[in-house]
Amino acid sequence: MSQQPIKLIVLVSTLPGRGEEQVAAFEALAPLVRAEEGCLQYDLHRVADDPDRFALIERWASTEALAAHDVAPHMVAAGAANKAFRAGPAEVVRLVDAPVGSPGA
């Protein structure tokens, strides 16, 4: 059974002036996440004109890989630590595999 990759955009806002803490946390976490089985992409982008807003783009090989990621010890620890500088919970947006208008969409 072939499964399509899971694509996510995770929208994150930090408390005012705390964006650099998000960047530092991501830089420490990213190598661990990228080493996880099934991680295809894990990239953080700052939102233009707002140093305290970010979009994390994730791609996972399977729902199983994403489920394992969610409970990995480094993710549990990051979730607890992020509360110090995050403005609230992240918004997770799951995308359909194929872009609109592409063959197979």
Tell me, what's the pLDDT at 19? 97
Percent of residues in the chain assigned helix, strand, coil, to nearest 5: 30, 30, 40
The reported pLDDT for the residue numbered 104 is 61
Report pTM: 0.89
Query: Measured between alpha carbons, how far is residue 80 from residues 25, 37, 56, 83, 85 in Å?
Result: 12, 23, 18, 6, 10
Q: Residue 1: what pLDDT?
A: 42
Residue 25 carries which DSSP code? H
Mean pLDDT by runs of 10 across the 105 residues of the chain is: 83 98 97 98 97 97 96 96 95 87 67
